[in-house]
Amino acid sequence: MAGTRNPGMPLDLAWVHDVRENLSALERRAQSIPGRRSVKKEWQAAWLLRAITCMDLTALNGDDTPGRIHRLCAKARQPVRQDMLDALGVGDLQLHTGAVCVYHAYIEAARRALADTTIPVCAVSTGFPHGLSPLRQRIDEIKASVAAGAQEIDIVITRAHALTGDWRALYDEVAAFREACGEAHLKTILATGELATMRNVGRASLVCMMAGADFIKTSTGKEGVNAIIPVGLAMVRAIRAYRERTGVDIGFKPAGGIRWAKDALVWLAMMKDELGDPWMRAPLFRFGASSLLGDIERQLEHHITGRYSADFRHPMA
Amino acid sequence: MPNIREIFETMEYGPAPESAAPVLRWLDERDRRFGLYIDGAWRAPVSGEFFPTINPANGQTLAQIAQADAGDVDLAVAAARAAYPAWSALSGHTRARYLYAIARHLQKKSRHFAVLETLDNGKPIRESRDIDIPLVARHFYHHAGWAALMAERLPDQAALGVIGQVIPWNFPLLMLAWKIAPALAMGNTVVLKPAESTSLTALAFAELCAEVGLPPGVLNVITGDGRTGALLTKHPGVDKIAFTGSTEVGRIIREATAGSGKKLSLELGGKSPFIVFDDADLDSVVEGVVDAIWFNQGQVCCAGSRILAHEGLAPRLIAKLKARMETLRQGDPLDKCVDLGAIIDPVQLAKIHELVERGRGEGAAVWQPTWSCPTGGSFYPPTLLTDVEPAATVAQVEIFGPVVVLLTFRTPAEAVALANNTRYGLAASVWTENINLALEIAPKLKAGTVWVNSTNLFDAAAGFGGYRESGYGREGGLEGLWEYTRPRWQAERLAARPDLPQKTSLSQDPPAPAAPAAGPACPPAIDRTPKMYIGGKQARPDAPYVIEVRSASGRRIGEVGHGTRKDLRNAVEAARASSWPRANGHLRAQILYYVAENLSARAGEFAARLHALTERGLDEGAREVEAALERLFYYAAWADKYDGQVHNVPSRNLTVALPEPLGVIGVLCPVEAPLLGFISCVAPALAMGSCVIAAPSERWPLCATDLYQVFDTSDLPAGAVNIVTGRARELAATLAAHDDVDACWSFVADDHQLSQLVERLSTGNMKRTWVDHGLGRDWFDPKQGQGEEFLRESTQVKNIWVPYGE
pLDDT tens across A182-203, in order?
999 999 999 999 999 999 999 9
Does the pLDDT at position B513 exceed 50?
no
Cβ–Cβ below 8 Å for B13 and A43? yes
Smallest CA–CA distance, residue A164 to chain B, in Å, is 16
Q: Which residue of A has its CA nearest to B129?
A: A35
Cβ–Cβ below 8 Å for B288 and A88? no
pTM, whole model, 2 decimals?
0.96
Q: What is the average per-residue pLDDT within B270-284?
A: 98
B527 band by pLDDT with thresholds 50, 70 and 90: confident
Q: Which residue of A has its CA nearest to B435?
A: A22
Q: What is d(CA B537, CA B768) in angstroms, rounded to the nearest whole number?
A: 28
Does the pLDDT at position B440 exceed 60?
yes
Q: Which residues pair with B533 in a beta bridge?
A: B538, B723
- pLDDT at position B506: 36
* Residues B302, B361 contacting (CB under 8 angstroms): no
Asked about B301 being catalytic, the answer comes back as yes
pLDDT tens across B616-672, in order?
999 999 999 999 999 999 999 999 999 999 999 999 999 999 999 999 999 999 999
Give the residue from B643, B477, B609, B564 showing the smallest Cα distance to B139: B477
Q: What is d(CA A24, CA B71) in angstroms, rounded to the nearest whole number?
A: 52
Does the pLDDT at position B478 exceed 90?
yes
Give the residue from B546, B310, B291, B521 showing the smallest Cα distance to B402: B291
Cβ–Cβ below 8 Å for B8 and A90? yes
Q: Is A247 exposed, middle or buried (0-12, 13-18, 19+ CB in 10 A)?
A: exposed
B545 touches chain A (CB under 8 A): no
- pLDDT at position B504: 38
Active site amino acids of A: 154, 217, 253
Distance of CA B244 to the CA centre of its chain: 9
Q: Which residue of A has its CA nearest to B124?
A: A36
DSSP code string of B166-207: E--SSSHHHHHHHHHHHHHHTT-EEEEE--TT--HHHHHHHH
- Side-chain half-sphere of A109: how many Cα atoms within 13 Å? 19
> What residues in B contact A51, CB-CB < 8 Å?
none
pLDDT tens across B92-141, in order?
999 999 999 999 999 999 999 999 999 999 999 999 999 999 999 999 99
Smallest CA–CA distance, residue B574 to chain A, in Å, is 43
Instruction: Give the strands of the sheet with B189-193, arranged side by side.
Output: B41-43, B36-38, B219-221, B189-193, B162-166, B240-244, B263-267, B471-472
Smallest CA–CA distance, residue A48 to chain B, in Å, is 9
B284 touches chain A (CB under 8 A): yes
Nearest CB partner across the interface for A89, out of B5, B281, B804: B5
Cβ–Cβ below 8 Å for A23 and B806? yes
pLDDT tens across B327-360, in order?
999 999 999 999 999 999 999 999 999 999 999 9
- Side-chain half-sphere of A235: how many Cα atoms within 13 Å? 34
**Mutant choice from B3, B9, B10, B11 vs A, greatest count of A C-beta within 10 A:** B11
Instruction: Please give the radius of gyration of chain A, using alpha carbons only, rounded to the nearest integer.
Output: 19
**C-alpha separations of B552 from B514, B613, B700 in Å:** 9, 6, 9
Cβ–Cβ below 8 Å for B805 and A27? yes
Cβ–Cβ below 8 Å for B805 and A24? yes
What would the CATH number be for the domain defined by A13-304?
3.20.20.70
Q: Is B712 helix (H, G, I), strand (E, B) or coil?
A: helix
Q: What is d(CA B213, CA B571) in angstroms, rounded to the nearest whole number?
A: 57
Does the pLDDT at position B516 exceed 60?
no
- pLDDT at position B526: 80
- pLDDT at position B500: 67
- pLDDT at position B508: 42
Smallest CA–CA distance, residue A105 to chain B, in Å, is 35
Nearest CB partner across the interface for A20, out of B129, B280, B805: B280
- pLDDT at position B497: 79
Of residues B301, B302, B681, B744, which has the active-site annotation?
B301
Does the pLDDT at position B520 exceed 90?
no
Q: Give all strands (DSSP E) within B214-271, no chain letters.
A: 219-221, 240-244, 263-267
B3 touches chain A (CB under 8 A): yes
Which contiguous run of DSSP H or E holds residue B305?
strand B304-310
* Residues B405, B385 contacting (CB under 8 angstroms): yes
Give the residue from B574, B477, B474 showing the smallest Cα distance to B534: B574
Asked about B211 being catalytic, the answer comes back as no
Smallest CA–CA distance, residue A65 to chain B, in Å, is 35
pLDDT tens across B758-767, in order?
999 999 999 9
B521 band by pLDDT with thresholds 50, 70 and 90: low
Cβ–Cβ below 8 Å for A49 and B8? yes
Q: At what angle do helices A292-305 and A261-274 cross, to 10 degrees?
A: 100
How are beta strands A215-217 and A185-189 bridged, if at all? parallel
Q: For B673, phi and psi rounded to 5 degrees?
A: -130, 90
> What residues in B contact A37, CB-CB < 8 Å?
13, 337
Nearest CB partner across the interface for A42, out of B7, B287, B806: B7
Does the pLDDT at position B524 exceed 90?
no
Q: What is d(CA A274, CA B681) in angstroms, rounded to the nearest whole number?
A: 58
Q: Which residue of A has its CA nearest to B801?
A: A24
- pLDDT at position B522: 63
Q: What is the average per-residue pLDDT within B156-177?
A: 98
Cβ–Cβ below 8 Å for A29 and B287? yes
Cβ–Cβ below 8 Å for B1 and A42? yes
ipTM: 0.97
pLDDT tens across B10-62, in order?
999 999 999 999 999 999 999 999 999 999 999 999 999 999 999 999 999 99
List b or e across B739-774, with b for residues whose CB sees 16 or more CB atoms inside 10 angstroms: eebbbbbbbbbbbbbbbbbbbbbbbeebbbbbbbbb
Q: What is the average per-residue pLDDT within B473-480?
A: 96
Nearest CB partner across the interface for A42, out of B14, B126, B279: B14
- pLDDT at position B501: 62
What average pLDDT is seen over chain B?
95
- pLDDT at position B715: 96
Q: What is d(CA A106, CA A68) in angstroms, rounded to the nearest whole number?
A: 10
Of residues B117, B127, B196, B267, which has the active-site annotation?
B267
> What residues in B contact A28, CB-CB < 8 Å?
287, 291, 454
**Mutant choice from A18, A24, A267 vs B, greatest count of B C-beta within 10 A:** A24
Smallest CA–CA distance, residue A158 to chain B, in Å, is 21
> What residues in B contact A50, CB-CB < 8 Å?
8, 11
Smallest CA–CA distance, residue A266 to chain B, in Å, is 12
Cβ–Cβ below 8 Å for B281 and A37? no
Smallest CA–CA distance, residue B4 to chain A, in Å, is 5
Smallest CA–CA distance, residue B652 to chain A, in Å, is 8
Does the pLDDT at position B401 exceed 70?
yes
Question: Domains of chain A: which residue ranges?
Answer: 13-304
Is A26 or B525 the better-scoring residue by pLDDT?
A26
Tell me the residue type at B86.
Answer: A
Cβ–Cβ below 8 Å for A24 and B1? no
* Residues B118, B124 contacting (CB under 8 angstroms): yes
> What residues in B contact A268, CB-CB < 8 Å?
11
**C-alpha separations of A249 from A7, A97, A216, A233, A245 in Å:** 11, 21, 11, 16, 11
Q: Which residue of B has its CA nearest to A200?
A: B806
**Mutant choice from B279, B284, B310 vs A, greatest count of A C-beta within 10 A:** B284
DSSP code string of A43-112: HHHHHHHHHHHTEEEE---TT--HHHHHHHHHHHHS-S-HHHHHHTT-TTS----SEEEE-GGGHHHHHH
pLDDT tens across B188-225, in order?
999 999 999 999 999 999 999 999 999 999 999 999 99
Chain A: residues touching B (Cβ < 8 Å)? 20-29, 32, 35-43, 45-47, 49-50, 88-90, 93, 197-199, 237, 240, 268-269, 272-273, 277, 280
Cβ–Cβ below 8 Å for B16 and A90? no
> What residues in A contact B130, CB-CB < 8 Å?
32, 35
Q: Which residues pair with B52 in a beta bridge?
A: B64
Nearest CB partner across the interface for A25, out of B4, B12, B453: B453
B2 touches chain A (CB under 8 A): yes
* Residues B448, B797 contacting (CB under 8 angstroms): yes
Helix%, strand%, coil% for chain B, nearest 5 = 45, 20, 40
